[in-house]
Amino acid sequence: MSVSVEEIENLVSQLPSKQLKEFRAWYQEFDSNMWDKQIEQDVMSGVLDDLAKKAIADHKVGKSKKL
């Protein structure tokens, strides 16, 4: 089954308030899980290594601020 983005948008826009609220909660968790998986893959593949090295180097020379 293949559904277009436009069809999904149309269906979501027609949801009653209660179902839209349930959909939002589901999608937020779904999106968060997808983000977590992507970060894990990036960490495991070394994609973030250069960024981490640069951030540490910048911090060592005082180019960071306390949060």
Confidence (pTM): 0.68
Residue 1 has pLDDT above 90, yes or no: no
Q: What is the CA radius of gyration of the chain?
A: 20
Write the CB contacts of 15 (distance below 8 Å, at least 6 apart in sequence).
23
**Looking at residue 67, what is its pLDDT?**
87
Over residues 52-62, mean pLDDT: 96
Identify the residue with better confidence: 65 or 8: 8
